[in-house]
Amino acid sequence: MCGAHMPGMMDERLGRPHNIVDGPEEMRKKVRELIRAGAVVIKVCTLGGVISMRDDPQHAHFVADELNVLVAEATAADRFVMAHAQATDGTKNTIRAGIRSIEHGIYLDDEAIQMMLDAGTYLVPTLIAPLGLLEAADRGIDLPAVILDKCRAVVDAHRQSIRKAIDAGVNIAMGTDAGVTPHGQNLRELGAMAELGMSPTAVFESSTRVAAELMGVDSDLGTLEIGKLADAVMFSGTELDVSDLHPRGKRVFQAGDRVA
């Protein structure tokens, strides 16, 4: 759900209701509508976005009463809420409302990080997302100048915020905003996380166990244990290393069966 529009990407389609709301009562109705349409997780854009033509990543879309209604309705239906959140104050509103995870977290200050620690909020950094857009422009893909300017403006702040969150011990779950950066490049995110101070062990746990816990599927996924689905990827090499993983992928198993 958005408080402003991202043309094309979030237009109403069959099975996907219109997603723009204003005010607590519209929020309440929209969450219920999305759940009736089959949503198993509610994602809310609590702040402006880098790829939104008319949005400022530091501008909050929703205020406390709207977010509180969102979380109350989702919780009543046993649904998690994840939030696209970039700016400092809007991210704090998101944490106060009890939203389960922050996606991006570009502008985090010490207070926001402490709030995440206190609340147990997860952070999904998506470090490669702005880089993917800049790389697309370098390949000749025509992207509006306003989007590219915002991408360039957030890269350093993004890395600094995530580094501080890692150092503080925030729950980090790997995620990439895939589609912004092409599918198939997801493993680059692991190396980017390691560059900001996460150990290889922590990076792998973030990408498996912690991510499964965030999504509420850890009874079946996230670790290799008796009774869980045997999904696994095998990489070549003798060292625990998260750099350059893609060419080192050798075998893929799903539910115990080798599929690649």
Positions annotated as catalytic residues are 43, 177
Report the alpha-carbon angle 6-186-161, nearest 5: 70
Phi and psi, residue 40, nearest 5°: -100, -15
Dist. CA 80–CA 137, nearest whole Å? 35
Through-space distance between the first and last CA atoms of the chain, rounded to whole angstroms = 37
Report the alpha-carbon angle 174-106-20, nearest 5: 90
